Structure 1
């Protein structure tokens, strides 16, 4: 299955992983979860604060299907 993965802020560096294509998509063998995608990209789970699946809050254990869109955010500070 092909999923679109967007890594934001400090996690964007992991988007350069060789498994992602130029459109930010990752091919996974199903069945798979968001955690499987995170592991494949080498993103440390402790650096993840928010996860969205097709624009809706999700968990790392959420199941994926072909053409899903995943957004992953780290904790963000400001001030």
Structure 2
């Protein structure tokens, strides 16, 4: 096993793409871009729908455990400086 493998015919020195590799992948470039864009749009749509669905819930029908009743999250008081 060698530390640095011999470059294949598709990659030039320094891992640059050779003209042969560009020609081999050219027919798939548009379809891959459309598929990638479709996946991004799908993921963004699912994320937006999930956020909108959770935002509409008010959770008023869920009862709190007894040890949590009466506890309110308090913001830390801001110190005011008088000049």
TM-score, reference length from structure 2: 0.19
Instruction: Name the one with the larger helix percent.
Output: 2
* TM-score of the pair, normalised by structure 1: 0.20
Greater strand proportion: 1
Q: Larger relative contact order (C-alpha < 8 A, sep ≥ 6)?
A: 1
